[in-house]
Amino acid sequence: MSSADPPQPPFALRRFDATAMLLCAIVGLDTLGSVAARGPQGLIWMAVLGLLYFAPYGLLIAELGSAFPQEGGPYVWTKLAFGRFTAGINQVFYWISNPVWLGGSLCVTAIATFESFFFPLPGGWKYLAGAVFIGAAGLAVHASVRSGRWVPIAGAVARIALLGFFVVSLVLYALRHGVHPPAAGDYTPTYLGLVALAPVIAFNYMGFEVPSAAAGEMADPKRDVPAALLRGGLLSALLYGVPIFGTLLVLPSEQVGSLTGFIDACRAVFTVYGGHIGADGTVVLTGAGSVLAMVAAAGLIIGLLTSGTAWAMGVSRAQAVACADGAGPRWLGVISARRGTPTRVNLISTGIAALVMVASLALSGGDAQKYFTAGIGLAISATAISYLLTFSSFIVLRRKYPHVSRPYRIPGGQVGAWTVTVLTVGTMLFAVVALIWPGLGVGWFGTSGDPAGYLPTGFEGQRAAYTATQLVPVVLIISLGCLLYALGARHRRTIASAAFTTQPDRGAFVETH
């Protein structure tokens, strides 16, 4: 190692680890059904948003992550651009979305998968299953970097193996039973489809910055982050498009549910190994079909678990960095010297996820689909709100720090920089508004359609109730951010008010006992 090389942590994450973390963060298996449920035009809008949002988003993060490689990633970038208070509030949105997602849609989907492939979970057994799921995620995030790196690796392998096996099974199913390809006209993109799909597709594409949030654990973030983004981005697009297309080939669009769509498609294609589909569409698996389906179900649950843990590894560190910097109480900024993880933030995150899980099962009244739609909506909106400032910080940092070395730089000068900023910020703004007010623009200016028809499943005719599930938490998150900032006042008085330097820094206090 030359004297010019950046100091490395005791055990450093490598490019392969960053790519695995990226795959787990971006490829969220809980939302495959949500896109497939909107029919073939979902694939078209995925391609369009892939070009207009996913690609610019990757380019933007590649430059930010390589130019400002401090641990804490999004918090650091936002602080340098807009100051500590704004960055602190923004970071709380980014952080809190993870336990809401983990205890909400990820846990609900995992339980639905278990019940679909193994056996029903009556009464309190659902709570026990949810506790095991969240507890496993908490233990994985709490583990040392040396051990914890295997979690996203296992998740990446599980995704590739599961989706690869699904494709092979789909081919065998098509040869034996044929498929039902959608009509060509069904692929025509419409504005109504965009309004319904933009938030969930944008959420599918989120996660490029997660490795940067743990940049302090990486061997060479300036080189590894851009390389991981390129590899992970291409693999993610493939791992999303193929199973969604396969689901639409196997199941009629009217039978695809946003919660269980991909699960139902898996059950259908696994009948080629043993089982049959009844005249009423009921799937019965037997013999090898039943065994292989259970193996695939275990892989799906692992994929869901590692989605939450990969995100948590990034967002928890970013929150610890924010608190260590004075945007919260000092004790939340402690990093365990033995494990190299933000133990206290992780414990709080696990507790929040457990509360969300209990609330989801207690308040859904048995309607898992209703809570799934509300929970996934809140997770998307919280993350998207935080991205509004994170993406905006890019153009500000170009102006404030023009002389900082940028190993990767978006081509096109200021025109290129403004283009990716407008595309990414604009997409997030549209997603947030479309989530808070489903059916945005439908029926306006004399056009056809009823906005009420775009309320999520389970909230038909209940716009006020659904809007409350999105706006009330936003107010609570802002209040929590302000409270944490107030609790950090004493700590801020003890540290320098200067901005972070542009040299790699772990960014958080390390426990010495």
How many whole angstroms separate alpha carbon 204 and alpha carbon 28?
6
Q: Domain locations in the chain? A: 15-443+469-510
pLDDT, residue 182, reads 73
Residue whose pair of structure tokens reads 């309190």 in the numeric block: 124
**Among candidate residues 86, 42, 100, 74, the one with its CA nearest the CA of residue 470:** 100
Residue 257 has pLDDT above 60, yes or no: no
E strand map for 311-429: 334-335
CB 340 within 8 A of CB 12: no
Q: What is the mean pLDDT of the chain?
A: 78
CA triplet 239, 242, 246: central angle to 5 degrees? 140
For CA atoms 225, 230, 231, 232, give the dihedral sign: positive
* Amino acid sitting at position 133: F
Residue 263 pLDDT level (bands cut at 50, 70, 90)? confident
Residue percentage of the chain with pLDDT more than 90 = 17
Q: Which of 69-73, 79-83, 374-378, 396-400 is predicted least confidently? A: 374-378
Give the fold, CATH level 3, of 15-443+469-510. Answer: Amino acid/polyamine transporter I (1.20.1740)
| Best-predicted range by mean pLDDT (21-25, 145-149, 196-200) | 196-200
pLDDT, residue 415, reads 93
How many whole angstroms separate alpha carbon 307 and alpha carbon 74?
19
pLDDT, residue 315, reads 87
* DSSP for residue 218: B
**Strand-pair category, 334-335 with 509-510:** parallel
CB 162 within 8 A of CB 300: yes
The tens digit of pLDDT for each residue in 452-497 reads 777 776 677 778 878 887 888 889 999 999 999 999 888 888 875 4
CB-count burial class (<10 Å; 0-12, 13-18, 19+) for 278 = exposed
Residue 275 dihedral angles phi and psi, to the nearest 5°: 135, -175
In Å, how far are 15, 197, 226 from 18, measured between CA atoms? 5, 28, 10
Residues 6+ apart with CB under 8 A from 105: 30, 31, 372, 375, 376, 379
Residue 509 pLDDT level (bands cut at 50, 70, 90)? very low
Both tokens of residue 289? 């079909």
| H or E segment and range at residue 275 | strand 275-277
pLDDT, residue 92, reads 94
Residue 122 pLDDT level (bands cut at 50, 70, 90)? confident
Average the pLDDT over 67-88 and give the result. Answer: 89
Residue 154 dihedral angles phi and psi, to the nearest 5°: -60, -40
Residues 6+ apart with CB under 8 A from 486: none
Q: What is the largest CA-CA distance in the chain?
A: 72
Where is pLDDT greater, at 239 or 353? 353
How many whole angstroms separate alpha carbon 227 and alpha carbon 234?
11
Both tokens of residue 373? 């739609």
Tell me if residue 420 falls in helix, strand or coil. helix
CA triplet 420, 425, 428: central angle to 5 degrees? 130
Residue whose pair of structure tokens reads 């900032």 in the numeric block: 485
CB 217 within 8 A of CB 64: no
Both tokens of residue 281? 């569409």
Residue 436 has pLDDT above 50, yes or no: yes
CA triplet 365, 367, 370: central angle to 5 degrees? 115
Residue 350 has pLDDT above 50, yes or no: yes
CB 162 within 8 A of CB 263: no
How many whole angstroms separate alpha carbon 239 and alpha carbon 307?
14
Residue 225 has pLDDT above 60, yes or no: no
pLDDT, residue 447, reads 63
* DSSP for residue 364: S
Residue 117 has pLDDT above 50, yes or no: yes
